[in-house]
Structure 1
Amino acid sequence: MGGNGALHTNPFIVNGRTVDIHITTRGSDWYWAVMSVMGTTMLAILAISFLKPASNRLFYYILSLVAFVAMVEHYSMASNLGWVPIDVEWRRSSHLVSGVNRQIWWVRYCGWFLIWPLLSAIVLLASVVPGIQVFWTCFLSCSMAILAVVGAVVRTDYKWGYYGFWIWCWLLIGYQLIWLPRKFALALGKDVAFAHNITAGWVWMLWMLYPICWGVSEGGNVIPPDSEFIFYGILDCCLIPITSAFFLFSHWTIDPARLGLKMRTYDDPLNIHSTSNQEKMAPRGQTEGITEAGDASQRAPVTEGEVPATTA
């Protein structure tokens, strides 16, 4: 049998519960396409990395990881896997979103938890900000994903409290990602500052749209899951392939050594003392013997019956 049979192989039943508001084959088809885009992005990044020396591929490794995680995430959702049925707060009259419970995709938030801090890290590493600020921003990025999933599985209006904390983290990230690193980037050159300003502003703007999609789908049950897939899929394509393409293009002529991010290769010597230098040193016993002999030769001879003088 041809066609997309994922919804038949993996039906809408989890732990004995059936979900009312769920995706259709069209939503699954769309996420298969998005998965292909992410896989192609990963292969393209890895292929382009071979045009650079091995010591200059740090950004390529990080962005290929981002694309790989996104590929697995969308594969899971296209296969109708990685979700739980959660009762909706508002029951709508439209047949597209009518029902008691809705599909909540926990696998999506697992992807966010891994992808978002990696994107924060690559933006800040390219600006050479202090390590504690990189850690702080990555922590806030992970927090956004955690707050989103916790809010999504809450059945009551208390979910909007987590939504508010999510927005607060997003505002803090705006300062850490855009405003704070700008002088660090400018100190490294106008080309570094240009790459940082565009990339950081673009990523932060897209992260503003994710809560909007969440609010009308998992949060408010306004749009059906297929529309949710389209909304999130477009955002993911903008966040990962487009961001990766611009970032790598803008950093193509920037030497990672300027940023202190050049990786060591097998051709680079290690800064350790060679054993040959240690072998050239005289053994301790010989040195002590020479010293004692020199001291003895400087002593006055002692005649028979005379008591040798002692030093204090």
Structure 2
Amino acid sequence: MELVVRENNAIVVNGNTVNGRTADIAITSHGSDFYFAICAAMAFAGFCFIGLAFRKERRERLFHYITAAVVFVAAIAYFTMGANLGFTPIEVEYSRSNAKVAGTFRSIYYVRYIDWFITTPLLLLDLLLTAGMPWPTISWVILVDWIMIITGLIGALVTSSYKWGYFAFGCLALVYIVYQLVWEARLHARAYGRDVERSFVMCGSLTTILWILYPVAWGLSEGGNVIAPDSEAVFYGVLDFLAKPIFGALLIWGHRDIDPARLGLVIKDYDGDALIHEKRTSVSHISDIN
């Protein structure tokens, strides 16, 4: 009996023609395979984080849930890209002679930016809550992060050299976020103890290094049309794998002995809520009388 190997035919089923235009610079089955592999890794990490959450009391699961949400959203985005969906053909600014990037229209995956619009604020929330940062600061940093993501998307969809103006706006936003992570948030985390500072520095440093590389990936792919879409898949995929599942594993490990209440996150479970307990007692008392 011969073993039948099922081939990935996503590129055939979901072609490169969208909105009346065909992307002649697009992923191959190799790029699709890689996207699906990262999808599987994200989903596996998500179930691991949820499984670890059930080993904690409900009031101590905040970071598990946030981190699991990050990788589950990313898994959906990577499934979409692996299926050769969630993109639109955009005319390139720079025509290249290299056969791998020669052509007129390049696949731009807007679903990647939808993913980032949801997941990067959650990653920042993980970090800034770990540092015990005040909510007004957290809200402001998340707003700046959204500016970074949206300007990156607009720049990717622009066909002229004006795309680099949006790229510059996004880089300025990134500089501010990096400043918060390497300076203000780090100093804030120090005040909560050595274990909190260690957890923040470990995860914050990883995030800072990786996020600085994302504009490089953008400039070589959506911006400059230098590397092929398959190489783009690997570049972004490796960054996302390190920035999400690996980050999440380090964060949850770092929080293993940290009570969220130490960080100002006093979360009451209903078993310990005095008001609900009082209501239950009253109901029980009435039942006894009847």
Q: Would you say same fold, with TM above 0.5?
A: yes
Identify which of 242, 246, 263 aligns with 2:267: 263
Are 1:111 and 2:111 counterparts? no
1:41-120 to 2 correspondence within 5 Å?
41-120=45-124
Percent of aligned pairs with the same amino acid = 42
- Shift of residue 44, structure 1, vs aligned partner: 0.2
Is the 1:24–1:226 contact (alpha carbons within 8 Å) kept by the matching residues of 2? Answer: yes
Q: Match for 2:170 among 158, 163, 166?
A: 166
- Structure 1 residue 269: Cα displacement: 2.2
Question: Aligned letter for 2:80?
Answer: S
C-alpha contact 2:270 2:276 (8 A) present in aligned 1: no
1 CA distance for matches of 2:185 and 2:231? 36
- 2:187, 2:215 → 1: CA distance? 29
Matched residues in 1 for 2:104 and 2:221: separation?
14
2:20 aligns with one of 16, 24, 28: 16
Match of 2:184 among 173, 180, 186: 180
Q: CA deviation at 1:271?
A: 4.8
Q: Distance in 2 between matches of 1:262 and 1:44?
A: 25
Where in structure 1 are there 5+ consecutive unaligned residues?
A: 276-312
Q: In the aligned structure 1, how far is the partner of 2:59 from the partner of 2:278?
A: 25
| Contact 2:221–2:227, Cα closer than 8 Å, also in 1 | yes
Is the aligned partner of 1:206 residue 2:210?
Answer: yes
State yes or no: 1:197 paired with 2:201: yes
CA distance in 1, matches of 2:81, 2:278: 55
User: Quick one: distance in 2 between partners of 1:163 and 1:245?
Assistant: 31
Contact 2:36 2:82 in 1 (8 A): yes
- Tell me the distance in 1 between the aligned counterparts of 2:56 and 2:273: 20
- Match among 234, 245, 252 for residue 230 of structure 1: 234
Task: Please give the secondary structure, in 2, of the residue aligned with 1:175.
Answer: helix
Q: Secondary structure at the match of 1:125?
A: helix
Shift of 1:54: 1.2
Structure 2 equivalent of residue 156 of structure 1: 160
Which of 40, 44, 48 in structure 2 is aligned with 1:40? 44
Any residues of structure 2 matched to 1:265-284 within 5 Å, and which? 265-271=269-275
Shift of 1:274: 6.5
**Count of residue pairs the alignment pairs up:** 275
Q: What SS class does the counterpart of residue 217 from structure 1 fall into? A: helix
Greater Cα radius of gyration, structure 1 or 2: 1
Structure-2 change in CA distance of 1:17 and 1:189 (3 Å):
same
Note the C-alpha offset of 1:153.
0.6
1:227-284 residue CA offsets vs partner (Å, 9 max, x unmatched): 0001000001100111001111111011112112242212112358969xxxxxxxxx
**TM-score, normalised relative to structure 1:** 0.85
With over 3 angstroms needed to count, the CA separation of the structure-2 counterparts of 1:46 and 1:274, relative to structure 1, is closer
Aligned to 1:302: none
Task: Show structure 2 runs of 5+ residues with no match.
Answer: 280-290
Secondary structure of the structure 2 residue equivalent to 1:52: coil
Q: Secondary structure at the match of 1:136?
A: helix
Match of 2:282 in 1: none
- Indicate if the aligned counterparts of 1:58 and 1:263 stay in contact, CA closer than 8 A: no
3-state SS of the aligned residue for 1:80?
Answer: coil
Counterpart CA distance in 1 for 2:277 and 2:124 is 38
1-side partners of 2:239 and 2:104: how far apart? Answer: 28
**Are the equivalent residues in 2 in contact too, given 1:6–1:79 (CA < 8 A)?**
yes
In 2 relative to 1, CA 36–187 (structure 1 residues): closer, same or farther, beyond 3 Å? same
CA contact (8 A) 2:217 2:232 kept: yes
| Secondary structure of 1:173 counterpart | helix
Q: CA RMSD in A?
A: 1.5
Q: CA deviation at 1:131?
A: 0.7
Cα distance in 1 for residues equivalent to 2:29 and 2:167: 30
Distance in 2, matches of 1:203 and 1:78, equals 25
Q: 1: CA distance between counterparts of 2:55 and 2:244?
A: 21
User: Of residues 141, 150, 163 in structure 2, which corresponds to 1:146?
Assistant: 150
Match of 2:119, SS state, is helix
Partner Cα distance (2:232, 2:49) in 1: 28
For residues 273 and 96 of structure 2, the distance between their equivalents in structure 1, rounded to whole angstroms, comes to 67
